Amino acid sequence: MKRPEVKAKLSGDNNWRRRPSHAARAAEYAKEQSIARTGAGNPRWGGGRIVARHGYIKKSIGGSKYDFEHRCVMEEHLGRPLREDEIIHHINRDRQDNRIENLQIVNRSEHVAYHNREYAKRGGNRRAKR
């Protein structure tokens, strides 16, 4: 015995139609979920901050763009964008400590000289802690 075709009745009128296909329902569900899954709607949202390679913190500056947080903190403190020749040095060597008291603007030669002095103090061992 053949089963009758299942039809759904539209409310309010006498028109009959088939149920939407699985693919159509899945596409509609994905569309609804994509709206809620970006930014703060995503369960894995970390507040727009990520720990980047080498331990520096990057923060979201809009869309999918990120910038180093220590540079943003210093630019906000100075009230101007940093120049290309300005390097931000972490005084206590903690790359995630981005308090303004721990940041210092130096040029490349000053920065290299500082780290070379630190390197010499440790007896030429770059990996040794202070």
pLDDT tens readout for residues 12-50: 555 556 667 778 888 787 777 666 666 777 777 778 888
Cα angle 37, 41, 45 (rounded to 5 degrees) comes to 95
pLDDT given for residue 108 in this prediction: 93
- Classify residue 70 by burial, with Cβ atoms within 10 Å: 0-12, 13-18, 19+: buried
Q: Is the pLDDT of residue 70 over 90?
A: yes
pLDDT of residue 127: 59
pLDDT at residue 100 in the model: 96
User: Is the model more confident about 118 or about 73?
Assistant: 73
- pLDDT grade for 123, boundaries at 50, 70 and 90: confident
Is the pTM higher than 0.75? no
pLDDT, residue 81, reads: 95
User: What is the distance between the alpha carbons of residues 102 and 87, in angstroms, rounded to a whole number?
Assistant: 13
Domain ranges of the chain: 49-121
95-117: burial string, b at 16+ Cβ within 10 Å, e else: beebeeebbeeeeeeebeeeeee
The SS3 of residue 88 is strand
Q: Considering only CA atoms, which of 109, 112, 87, 88 is closest in space to residue 99? A: 88
Pick the more confident residue, 13 or 118.
118
Q: Comparing 54 with 9, which gets the higher pLDDT?
A: 54
From the centroid of its chain, how far is CA 39? Answer: 10
Judge contact between 56 and 95, C-beta under 8 A: yes
